[in-house]
Chain A
């Protein structure tokens, strides 16, 4: 007997440009005490599904066109708002994606934790507080009795997500809906949160709907899996059968496109290698490409990059970046934050150095310091034999052409008011590449073509593109100056796995074609493993381990590295079989 039965749910959005069928007739059951994973890329309708259940779909433009969701005798779709309010937050609770924004920064944690108890009249204040402290302890926050009176900003991202979980579970709900609760977190923190959710679920017997774009997370956690694509469920089944014998080509693609530690792909398979989309009478028909396996096999036939170990493009030694903690206008700095504390490494031309570590370890600052975007406090950065540490803007200008950076967030790294053409042509104009406007436009078109976008896009604005397309544009912009060296700062961390695979392939392809040298910064070791030749593990501003990427994975000498490797979600069939039992 299922605790929640969703049948033929349809949620459409009526926009100016027509009807968007975000969720178009899906049905699934949630069994009591089980974890149901809903997986799909952004825009697949997985979030809209649960928002529809919770009555959180903005209406208009959204409208639930039909279907039902039976929960303990009432239909969540049709029941009166008052009835829904009594269920929502009390018997069905929800955790959101971004722990940084889903807590009210002006209220103490204690207030926010007991609020649901008070609202639903489940406890008096005193009792509620006691319950809240117990809950905080349960989600692994030490000294809960004291920390409960802190404000949200005093907690790290992972801790906040724990608080969010505590808040959701405090009313002892029967169903917990988790909407991408680990996507905004580091891999290591993600692993902790997943473990915590698993423990809590077993402990409290709550049923969980877990939404994610990452099949690896599903493999760690879920009992049953629903795969969504374009508002439809393309496949559902128990976790083992989905991973062992995926039926639908989309599921196959999604499984294949995750970079894995043990895989030896040189080019990652993508969903489009498996899935054929045909539009017939306005209906999209999905079918499997017949020769997917052979095609992917043929993709791997790329030559290895020839790397001359002695031809060093970048040599960093003893690099330090300290930020003064300023107390006031006239007073001396209180102290320094040693973001980067004396690190040294070299990058041969044409190779990729992977820089890994948790957030706050100084890897991003390192990338910025190399480009002189933040001034290094000490140490030397030699680029192509030239010492560049501490160069000012004018001295850096000729070098800007040769070294570039790609950022994490494709949404904020393009000026929303410039067309793609303007964004690509501006750096060329500044550096005097191309004699006139028309020539620069031709170059921009060629660049778009090179990153796999249509040259028609030149006149469009960034908001018209998806995250993956924007990141391609960012790559094109970085390439517009024809650099030799690019820092990729978490360049794929904000992306769905399916898009991530495409961008990673693009970066690799460009490296081969243009003999580029990369520093690839990421918190995700599986991605770094795919990209990097050599790698450096950073912790607390220092490099604690560096060397050949393969070797570090095989034999990590530091416990910290070991932990990073262990944090990667495991999705091998044997692991799932063992877990499910």
Chain B
């Protein structure tokens, strides 16, 4: 299964943050790679969604849904820069 990219997260992230989040900037805590969410390597076929760094495959963000409630963990990224709404 080929991974997708962060563009595929646009819907769910917009739903949660009430704005487009695919242009959110980040810095990988592991390799220092900087980019925007749209460029992350995204695996959506598992129980939850896993977004990895395009530079080093470190997990940047995890997203799980539990009966309509979402849990987001962004432990792999530093300096998230929220786009303007």
Is B truly associated with A?
Answer: no
A interface vs B, CB < 8 Å?
A: none
